[in-house]
Amino acid sequence: MQAFAQMKSTPTRKRVSRDDWLHQGLQVLRESGVESVKIEHLARNLGVAKTGFYWHFQNRSALLNAMLDYWQREYTKVVTDNYQFAALPAKERLHAISQIIAEHQLAEFDSSVRDWAKHDAGAAALLEQSYKLRIATIKTAFRELGFRGDELEMRTRLFVVGHSNEDAMFGTQTGTKASRLRRLRVQLLINPLQD
């Protein structure tokens, strides 16, 4: 009975998934830069022993590569590869994409990954690939709305740049005013220019 009581009072170990490590890595990247993304630091932030790290990653280099893949999957491909968005009419699609970027803070690590890419060829290549995916997705919607040439390019760039940099410039915007401004921005971009 005493052995059972001791077992019962032993705290259970916290389980930390691979994605938990990756998300924590991105948070540290945002707060302190890539040089601060260290196994000990992440383990301390997650409240676990660093030995748990090795269940998911071979070493720090593997973690950094996986962080880039995770960022692309969870913050770009979650939109660009989403068949539900692709099925929407172009105007609705652009509004829906704008809303989900804001609601799920899909741009929260963009500036950190851009800073990382300045000094790392692998990060730069993945960043460029992610931007190409974003641009292709948004350009398709504007093309479906009938825009061509420079007007198509300008609208696509403004949409992508605005959504990738808004939080970095103004902080995370929430509430009805932020939602209203996002809708207005998309409305402005989907309407033809007046001479």
Do 53 and 45 meet the contact criterion of CB atoms below 8 Å apart? no
Question: What pLDDT does 164 receive?
Answer: 87
Evaluate if residue 10 carries a pLDDT over 60.
no
Whether this model's pTM surpasses 0.85: yes
Q: Is residue 1 part of a domain?
A: no
Q: Is residue 2 part of a domain?
A: no
Q: Quick one: tokens of 60?
A: 């720090």
Do 165 and 111 meet the contact criterion of CB atoms below 8 Å apart? yes
Question: What pLDDT does 176 receive?
Answer: 84
Question: What pLDDT does 195 receive?
Answer: 65
CATH code of the domain in which 153 resides: 1.10.357.10
Q: Is residue 195 part of a domain?
A: no
The identity of residue 149, as a single letter, is G
Task: Give the model's confidence band at 170: pLDDT under 50 very low, under 70 low, under 90 confident, else very high.
Answer: confident
Q: Is residue 5 part of a domain?
A: no
| Range with the poorest average pLDDT among 62-71, 145-154, 156-165 | 156-165
CA 101, CA 175: separation in Å to the nearest integer? 14
Evaluate if residue 106 carries a pLDDT over 90.
yes
Question: What pLDDT does 194 receive?
Answer: 75
Q: Which domain holds residue 103?
A: 10-190
Question: What pLDDT does 134 receive?
Answer: 97
Q: What is the mean pLDDT of residues 129-139?
A: 97
Cα–Cα separations (whole angstroms), residue 72 to 48, 147, 177: 26, 28, 29
Q: Is residue 15 part of a domain?
A: yes
Evaluate if residue 12 carries a pLDDT over 60.
no
Evaluate if residue 181 carries a pLDDT over 80.
yes
Cα–Cα separations (whole angstroms), residue 138 to 2, 62, 154, 161, 165: 64, 32, 11, 11, 16
Question: What pLDDT does 171 receive?
Answer: 66
Mean pLDDT of the chain: 90
pLDDT, tens digit, 9 for 90 and up, residues 16-59: 999 999 999 999 999 999 999 999 999 999 999 999 999 999 99
Q: Is residue 3 part of a domain?
A: no
Number of domains in the chain: 1
CA 81, CA 87: separation in Å to the nearest integer? 11
User: Quick one: which of 113, 103, 101 has its CA closest to 28?
Assistant: 113
Question: What pLDDT does 13 receive?
Answer: 52
